[in-house]
Structure 1
């Protein structure tokens, strides 16, 4: 009888420990918030006309290897003037131009950019590249003849907020109408900063930078990290890519998640899960592009669009 009682206590102890471990796991991966969000989405019958509605996208090009690259790519941005995509590599630092089909078009060597982690199109010929470890934002000009760029010859801005090794600036997005540069800090803490005044378009104006940190908004993001950002000019909504959560979130103008795109196998037409999403971009037609380590290219589109 005593052995039976002891066995029951052991089993009960193991059950409690398992439940605690499951609860901690769910909390760490924000599973409760994600489940509640999915439940809310399933109950929605109407959406605003301007919403992107990520759940309606299907993969069109899946895990295409970007030929001709030895280093892993990071980040992605769409250039409407060239109708092409740009990404960066950070081992042998280069700015890489890709076609909308994921073909390598050209390389531009980067000198003195440190740990180049993100790139964002601002206006014709003008880009910002981030140095993750040193939290620098570097303004560069690119044209058809550009073969190399030197950081010491460019305007720079250092933020240095919550510096934490290689968990720094992972993503950039730009709102051209509001002239806001969104900067994603990967994690510890995870943040989306809004920077006004950089890059400076008019050199005749005084250099004045204002940084907005909305911690309440960021606390509502039920993802474990941030890898990349994309601002949609038509809706005014922000897309946030999370590598560890394998998810893309659509944030409305209040910064609240309103739709999501799962990067897991079996979802949105994917045969396999996206291994490590590093960059996301959207073109003028609403087509989504994504790059993932090791040098994989994806394209998502709404059927019939």
Structure 2
């Protein structure tokens, strides 16, 4: 029998399949698969990250409020946009059609802007909505857009910790805010963590829509380094201990394949991916046959 390159390539496809979309989420099945440095000149003290489903790239903001930076999934800079007039940018989320919402922590205000590579925007020129009164360094830490409802989920760091569901009307500058998990008192730890620093809705992952995970959230704590999947009523469904990885991480997002990206102030990008399932016996045999096929093809080529 004559083996062709096409047959070998087909065998290789069985041996090393591409990252598949997830149909459920369990953080106990995730592991750290990569760590990348972010461009320090543009993403220093990275505080938030969001996945742009139109470009399949990541956007990062630092808490010094100087730039929004577009990077690939290995943390390499693609483009950047200059920010003016911002003081403490802690949250960022993609809302579609090239638009993003960005959060000022102490002001507890959210601003809507269109990203333009190489461009610049000033805070005072953007439509904005106030979600709460001006506070100290314990205000809004992150925001995530919910494309199914058109609403937003936000987390407040502490005193009190809070998870908000909000309808934000940027045209009229108004907000309707509901606390999803009201704290028992101003010093209560909603999820047993010292703070809340990142949030991400899961229904941006289309393969999770229609599943029991559709309405759930990813919530990250910096001071108790932990990533959690939680229900909107506050039940912790699974968690990932981040304490052995980094103590300065705070922003979180997820892409269409269920790969999770977390940024830290270092600045670094941490990548978590679900562990591939163990192949069925028949598939394992097929993979071994594929490896043998590739080896046989290579030996035949060497004989010429």
TM norm structure 2: 0.74
* Kept in 1: contact 2:105–2:139 (CA 8 A): yes
Q: Matched residues in 2 for 1:87 and 1:215: separation?
A: 27
User: Partners of 1:114 and 1:92 in 2: how far apart?
Assistant: 6
Say whether 1:111 aligns with 2:84: yes
2:145 matched residue in structure 1: 174
Does the aligned pair in 2 maintain the 1:164–1:188 contact within 8 Å?
no
Structural mapping, 1:181-200, within 5 Å: 181-196=152-167, 198-200=168-170
1:257 match: 236
Q: Which residue of 2 aligns with 1:139?
A: 112
Given candidates 122, 133, 140, the residue that maps to 1:150 is: 122
Q: Is the 8 A contact 1:68 1:104 kept in 2?
A: no
On the 8 A contact 2:164/2:177 being kept in 1, the answer is: yes
Alignment of 1:270-285 (within 5 A): 273-285=245-257
Give the Cα separation in 2 of the matches to 1:259 and 1:92: 32
Deviation at 1:164, TM superposition (A): 3.2
1:26 corresponding residue in structure 2: none
- Give, in angstroms, the shift of residue 153 of structure 1: 1.9
Name the CA shift for 1:253/1:190 in 2 (closer, same or farther; >3 Å): closer
Q: How many residues align?
A: 242
CA contact 2:65–2:86 (8 Å) conserved in 1:
no
Structure 2: gaps of 5 or more residues = 1-21, 209-213, 278-304
From 224, 233, 236, give the equivalent of 2:215: 236
Residue 57 (str. 1) matches residue 23 (str. 2):
no
Q: Distance in 1 between matches of 2:40 and 2:160?
A: 36
Conserved 8 A contact 1:275-1:293: no
What secondary structure is seen at the aligned counterpart in 1 of 2:124? helix
In 2, the alpha carbon distance for the partners of 1:178 and 1:135 equals 22
**Equivalent-residue separation in structure 2 for 1:120 and 1:96 (angstroms):** 13
Partner SS for 1:209: strand
Equivalent in 215, 222, 245 of residue 224 of structure 2? 245
Equivalent in the alignment of 1:85: 58
